[in-house]
Structure 1
Amino acid sequence: MWKIYLLAAISFLNGTSEYVIAGILDKIAEANHISVSSAGQLITVFSVAFGAGTPFLIAMFARMDRKKLLVYALTVFSVINILIAIITGYEMLMSARIISALSAGVMQVTVLTLAAVLAAPGKQGGAIATVIMGQSSALVAGVPIGRVVASHYDWNVIFIGIGAVGLLFSVLTLFAIPKTVAEKPVPLREQFKFFMRPRIAAYLLITFLWLGAYSVVFTYISPYFLDIFGMSNHGVTTALFIFGIASAIGAQLGGFSTDKWGAFRTLTGGMLLHAIALLLFPFIGQFAFLFYVLLIFWALAAWSSGSPIQFQLISLAPAAASIVLSLHSALGQLGMAGGAGIGGIAVKNGLLNYLPWIGAFTLAIAVGVTVLDKVYLNEKQFKETQSTLFIK
């Protein structure tokens, strides 16, 4: 079981490298003499590279031993994060983040694969959930810890630490994880055929819009707290920590609600509450109590949507669950990239205070797609099935 925890720790490190920039965006902008919107594009390029590049790299290295692939990816990941800490120049930072994202994407897919293989019979689901929890825990601990380190030392120290720990994990993986042969790969052209199935395409679009709406605000969360609410560095750290805990609780509530009330009610309700929270942010002024209440409300609602979306995708393609979930992950990363990019344009044009409204508008579209799937696509699929059965 401890091998699964090692994989979860690697996943936590991976998530920290992705999310931590949102918590120190102002520090990076100041140190590199660039605008906050330009610094935000470091998140955009990471998500684009992660989402678009990972499927191709996994297909390219499909026949490689999973242990060896993880060691190679970890090594590249570690070295490039150390380089991020010492290189100078915005263009070099962008290039390094792209390489970091590609290695991170390979790492995440590989640790999930290894978790399923190494788990005891009947325990695969729990092992995968443990690894996923490792990455999501980066929001709870990794991001606020990164903010504390950047406040007391320098933002570079964070990436040196990520690189050093990554090299340690690489050595542990080399000695602790057994050799594992990957399953027979599914060609990319076969994977892309799922985009042609209307209901699966609808939920992949919902994934894109949901995480895009979230990313519009979360990417610029530190400057938003600092500039709009006038918070101190300590206040930002506290807010990020509270947000992370509420996010983890929200993910669990989403799973509970999906089981009890169904995916449609959980998803539409969660996204509507998410939109309401974002709509209210510009109205609460400097009231600290209202701010923290709304922050928790936002995190709970935002992260309740993941479980019902994944449940629906698995229900629509039970024989190809791994494929549709990998597409879900890729579209989610591209959605975060799109949100970060749009947010950067808004910030550059002095619209930082209104980022939540952009997110709320995007969520309204996502709710519309969800309802369309329920009342039209689902009904259409049912009629086609009934027609086929009648003909037979």
Structure 2
Amino acid sequence: MSYMWKIYLLAIISFLNGTSEYVIAGILDRIADASHISVSSAGQLITVFSIAFGAGTPFLIAMTARLERKKLLVYALTIFSIVNVLIAFLSSYEMLMTARILSALCAGVIQVTLLTLAAVLAAPGKQGGAIGTVVMGNSTALVVGVPIGRVIASHYEWNVIFIGLGIIGLLLAVLAAFIIPRTVAEEPVPLREQVKFFMNPRISAYLLITFLWLGSYSVVFTYISPYLLDVFSMSNKEVTTALFIFGIASALGSKVGGFSTDKWGSFRTLAGGTLLHALVLLLFPIIGNVAYLFYALLILWALAAWSSGTPIQLRMITLAPAAASIVLSLHSAFGQIGMAAGAGIGGIAVKNSLMQYLPWIGALALTISVVVIVTDHVFSKRTKITEQEEPMYAQK
């Protein structure tokens, strides 16, 4: 079987993983109504998911370092699927929060393992495209998963969605067991050695960039449904349409990010995408209810936001190829912590009737990110560090 078909399977699993995480944002108001809680309280289901994902992933990846990657993927996907089925039958808000934590821990292991396998299985010089395809699978959850989740929740109970996620997850676990080849497990990296990654200013810079990137995204996206309903006075049908358009553009953004990284390098892709991302968010509160401008900005927002994942991930793998899973888990951890922070800050803004200005909060974080990206690039040029030279933690 061609390596690309294996990459596509990884992308499909990534899609499922992304749907389980992002679908909550599309049905936030439905969950709030069904559970008799406020929208901001329902939003904490996203916050707790992100915190558990971010805090737990590096430890779980380190603990399972000796486990062969295909086995790890199958085990994590199986547990993930069972937990999602259980979510459908939980009536207590507290139990739902607990289940989301368990789901997040599994999702973190799954996503890091998918990215690691993509880099390993890709043809030489095609790692950026392979990683971009897997990331595209995750962002495609916004194309199909979130809008369809919204439709399902409009016609049935919202928890039906999670029964479907669980069943599909079990089927994908079986496919992965038969199709994905075995790979050599990484040597465990002691905790004291992992700390050294934080001491590397370049890795630390990319972890900060990850935090700011997904934090700025989460500030707006966590509350995207109430934002569209209240600020732009959209109907339920119009919200579904907007989410569908946003999702298509997000998937394209991931693919464009992978192509651009392979062709023009990580710096140009990341710097350009982040700058565009910031400019778009600055314009959102200004355009009012001008429909054609809104949809144009929505598409540009998705394209810019989702083009950033691949250059960050590939850059971190390049800086530490002997411990790819570890640095990717750190990347995922900081990203999810950023999403939790964004959701939390967004919740505070919503409580204080500042929902309209959520995009400006995100733009501020991205402006800081652009400064860090440019500073790192200048530093790398001055010290003659390039993507082709052997990085600090390369395998000898």
Cα 1:113–1:368 shift into 2, 3 Å = closer
**Structure 2 residue aligned with 1:61, among 42, 61, 64?**
64
Identify the residue that residue 364 of structure 1 maps to in structure 2: 367
Identify the residue that residue 286 of structure 2 maps to in structure 1: 283
Cα 1:122–1:269 shift into 2, 3 Å = closer
Identify the residue that residue 237 of structure 1 maps to in structure 2: 240
User: Could you report, residue by residue, the CA deviation over 1:274-307 in whole angstroms, capped at 9, with x for unpaired residues?
Assistant: 1121111112222211111111121122223233
- How many angstroms apart in 2 are the aligned matches of 1:79 and 1:134? 21
Q: Are the aligned partners of 1:56 and 1:188 in contact in 2 as well (CA < 8 Å)?
A: no
1:7 aligns with 2:13: no
Name the one with the larger helix percent.
1
1:183-194 paired onto structure 2 within 5 Å? 183-194=186-197
Q: Are the aligned partners of 2:276 and 2:304 in contact in 1 as well (CA < 8 Å)?
A: yes
- How many angstroms apart in 1 are the aligned matches of 2:350 and 2:102? 26
Identify the residue that residue 19 of structure 1 maps to in structure 2: 22
1:34 aligns with 2:65: no
Cα 1:121–1:313 shift into 2, 3 Å = closer
Using the TM superposition, give the Cα deviation of residue 6 of structure 1 relative to its aligned residue in structure 2, in angstroms: 3.6
SS in 2 for 1:86: coil
- How many angstroms apart in 2 are the aligned matches of 1:298 and 1:226? 18
Q: What letter is aligned with 1:53?
A: G
1:206-217 paired onto structure 2 within 5 Å? 206-217=209-220
Using the TM superposition, give the Cα deviation of residue 28 of structure 1 relative to its aligned residue in structure 2, in angstroms: 0.9
Q: Are the aligned partners of 2:282 and 2:360 in contact in 1 as well (CA < 8 Å)?
A: yes
SS in 2 for 1:369: helix
Cα 1:71–1:236 shift into 2, 3 Å = same
Identify the residue that residue 389 of structure 2 maps to in structure 1: none
1:298 aligns with 2:311: no
- How many angstroms apart in 1 are the aligned matches of 2:24 and 2:78? 21
Using the TM superposition, give the Cα deviation of residue 312 of structure 1 relative to its aligned residue in structure 2, in angstroms: 3.8
Cα 1:350–1:98 shift into 2, 3 Å = same
**Structure 1 residue aligned with 2:276, among 273, 276, 279?**
273
**Structure 1 residue aligned with 2:94, among 85, 91, 95?**
91
User: Could you report, residue by residue, the CA deviation over 1:135-164 in whole angstroms, capped at 9, with x for unpaired residues?
Assistant: 222122111111111112121110111112
Q: Are the aligned partners of 1:55 and 1:188 in contact in 2 as well (CA < 8 Å)?
A: no
- How many angstroms apart in 1 are the aligned matches of 2:321 and 2:63? 25
Q: Are the aligned partners of 2:27 and 2:158 in contact in 1 as well (CA < 8 Å)?
A: yes
- How many angstroms apart in 2 are the aligned matches of 1:268 and 1:110? 27
Cα 1:344–1:161 shift into 2, 3 Å = same
Deviates more, 1:132-141 or 1:190-199: 132-141
Aligned residues: 382
Using the TM superposition, give the Cα deviation of residue 116 of structure 1 relative to its aligned residue in structure 2, in angstroms: 5.7
Identify the residue that residue 80 of structure 2 maps to in structure 1: 77
Using the TM superposition, give the Cα deviation of residue 52 of structure 1 relative to its aligned residue in structure 2, in angstroms: 1.6
1:153 aligns with 2:131: no
Q: Are the aligned partners of 1:53 and 1:102 in contact in 2 as well (CA < 8 Å)?
A: yes
Identify the residue that residue 381 of structure 1 maps to in structure 2: 383
Deviates more, 1:352-361 or 1:266-275: 266-275
Using the TM superposition, give the Cα deviation of residue 330 of structure 1 relative to its aligned residue in structure 2, in angstroms: 2.1
Q: What letter is aligned with 2:341?
A: G
Cα 1:214–1:165 shift into 2, 3 Å = same
Unaligned runs of 5+ in 2: 386-396
Using the TM superposition, give the Cα deviation of residue 90 of structure 1 relative to its aligned residue in structure 2, in angstroms: 1.8
Identify the residue that residue 256 of structure 2 maps to in structure 1: 253
Unaligned runs of 5+ in 1: 384-392
TM normalised by structure 1 equals 0.87
Cα 1:9–1:382 shift into 2, 3 Å = closer
1:218 aligns with 2:221: yes
Q: What letter is aligned with 2:101?
A: I
User: Could you report, residue by residue, the CA deviation over 1:88-141 in whole angstroms, capped at 9, with x for unpaired residues?
Assistant: 122111111000001112222334445566x48759836555433322221221
Identify the residue that residue 332 of structure 2 maps to in structure 1: 329
Using the TM superposition, give the Cα deviation of residue 222 of structure 1 relative to its aligned residue in structure 2, in angstroms: 0.8
* Percent of aligned positions that are identical: 75
Q: What letter is aligned with 1:381?
A: T
TM normalised by structure 2 equals 0.87
CA RMSD of aligned residues (A): 2.7
Q: Are the aligned partners of 2:61 and 2:329 in contact in 1 as well (CA < 8 Å)?
A: no
- How many angstroms apart in 1 are the aligned matches of 2:181 and 2:266? 38
1:101 aligns with 2:104: yes
- How many angstroms apart in 1 are the aligned matches of 2:264 and 2:184? 40
Q: What letter is aligned with 1:325?
A: L
Using the TM superposition, give the Cα deviation of residue 225 of structure 1 relative to its aligned residue in structure 2, in angstroms: 0.7
